Amino acid sequence: MRLILIFFVGLNSILFGQVDLNKKIYNIEVVDKKTLKIDTKELKIGQSGIIINNYMDNENTIIGSAFIKSIAKDHSILEFRKNDIFDQNAIPRSKMSPKNGDKFVANHLYNNSLLIVPNNETKKVIKKIYTNQKFFNEDFFASYLKLNDTPIPKKNDMIEFCKAQQIGTIFIVANNFLYILDANSFTLIDKNEIDFESNDIVLPFFTKIKEIERGFWDFGDERIKNYDKHYIDMIGIK
């Protein structure tokens, strides 16, 4: 379904957010089995990364992931998740636990992104601004939805797809804003205004893949009724 309207975007009208998507490395302090601390408050709640255990000289292994759970005056608290960053069962699973002095690599895979936009014009603008991002082709996500008979993408569809494809961030354009989410925690970490008066909307999002239909025994809705509302509700914007 396509709704054709006049579309306008001005590069100078985009207000950039403050989040830094580059990798950052911090020493961790273990509070308990699931709680870690790092001596910084510059990250945002929901930002995630990996925990690296230095078990031998110059030898490191990834033992799990963590995300910022809370921020205090001079430190941040992480919630540790053991071995949940790989979707492939063939990859060996470490039995190690974090220890003091191990590393938290924040923004792991943040440069790999899934981009959800209403049209090709918006896609071009976002890619021109975020030149350091590697945007995964949206047709692959649409194919994933089609294979799973899911014409209406949901939060869990995005999380599982990003996990399988090693994607760290999700960029969603809706309601005149670009929303950037951590793909691991599905938490909003940045919001940038995009000034456009109207748009050309492709449902469920811009893709060359057509006819994403529900399964034969699925009697749910067959398509998104309102592009902006669907994604705003998914992100949890009030």
The proportion of the chain whose per-residue pLDDT surpasses 70, expressed as a percent, equals 79
Whole-number pLDDT of residue 222: 64
Mean pLDDT value across residues 180-193: 95
CA neighbor of 79 nearest in space, from 53, 98, 102? 98
- The DSSP element (H or E) to which 101 belongs, if any, is none
- pLDDT band of residue 61 (cuts 50, 70, 90) is confident
Whole-number pLDDT of residue 110: 97
Task: Say if CB 17 and CB 180 are below 8 A apart.
Answer: yes
CA-to-CA distance for 43 and 104, rounded, in angstroms? 12
Each residue of 123-137: pLDDT tens digit? 998 999 999 999 999
CA neighbor of 3 nearest in space, from 183, 191, 224? 224
CA neighbor of 121 nearest in space, from 212, 194, 190, 191? 194
- The DSSP element (H or E) to which 158 belongs, if any, is helix 155-165
C-beta neighbour count of 183 within 10 angstroms? 23
Whole-number pLDDT of residue 55: 60
Whole-number pLDDT of residue 211: 79
Whole-number pLDDT of residue 149: 87
Task: Say if CB 112 and CB 167 are below 8 A apart.
Answer: yes
Mean pLDDT value across residues 113-117: 97
Each residue of 138-165: pLDDT tens digit? 999 999 999 988 899 999 999 999 999 9
| Contacts of residue 179, Cβ cutoff 8 Å, sequence gap at least 6 | 171, 172, 173, 188, 190, 191, 231, 235, 237
- Alpha-carbon separation of residue 31 from 36, 77, 99, 100, 182 (angstroms): 5, 9, 10, 9, 24
Q: Does pLDDT of 221 surpass 70?
A: no
